[in-house]
Amino acid sequence: MHTIYGMRSSGNCYKLHLLLEQLGQPYRWIEIDTRRGETRTPEYLARNPNGKVPLLERADGSCLAESNAILCYLAEGTRFWPADAWLRAQTLQWLFFEQYSHEPYIAVARNVVQHPNHPRRDELAQLQAAGYKALAVMEQRLADHEWLAGLRYGIADIALYAYTHCAADGGFEMASYPAIGDWLQRVRSQVGHLPMQV
């Protein structure tokens, strides 16, 4: 059985919570509070030298970091990971887009808004501007496709749902993105869907 070290209120950790529940796989969850320094202890750094959550640990103690790498590992061989090589590549494209062009702006803007003394407070307008660019890329795809990669719900949708569904918390005006709004609703209606714990 896998162990996940994660923080329930983190979107990156929520991705794994959602996939594992939808896979129906048993797992152990160890709650880690990053704000209390629990990713900077010697014990945690021995598991993940990069000091971040989430982290997957296997029964033999071997570990895997990076939320989207963990999604790929857990989804392999299931309906959440395409069998076709080109669709797998499209899935990876969206996963890298999420970590490079989406999360660093949309998740960080949410964090800034939620914490009035956040050190990046002065950057909020730039974070939002970059976040809107990411939303526009998603809107264009979803205007004429049901899902981000391929013809069915999969880990690209899970990864991008995590911080898109709560983008309004970061001050993003979502009414201008109707295709994203419809897609969020489709994701929510999948069997086994769970809300993020905030």
Q: Which of 95/187 has CB closer to a second copy?
A: 95
Q: Which of 89/194 has CB closer to a second copy?
A: 89
Q: Which of 17/102 has CB closer to a second copy?
A: 102
CB of 165 to a second copy, least distance (A): 20
Q: Which of 3/193 has CB closer to a second copy?
A: 3
CB of 39 to a second copy, least distance (A): 13
CB of 82 to a second copy, least distance (A): 12
Cβ-based neighbour number of residue 9 at 10 Å: 15
Q: Which of 130/193 has CB closer to a second copy?
A: 130
Determine the Cα–Cα distance for residues 20 and 47; give it in Å rounded to an integer: 21
Q: Which residues contact 34 (CB under 8 A, 6 or more apart)?
A: 7, 10, 52, 53
List interacting residues with a second copy (CB under 8 A).
Answer: 49-50, 62, 64-70, 72-73, 76, 85-86, 88-90, 92-93, 95-97, 99-101, 103-104, 133, 136-137, 140-141
CB of 101 to a second copy, least distance (A): 6
Long-range pairs, 28-33, Cβ under 8 A, ≥24: 28/1, 28/2, 28/3, 28/4, 29/3, 29/4, 30/3, 30/4, 30/5, 30/6, 31/6, 31/7, 32/5, 32/6, 32/7, 33/7
CB of 191 to a second copy, least distance (A): 25
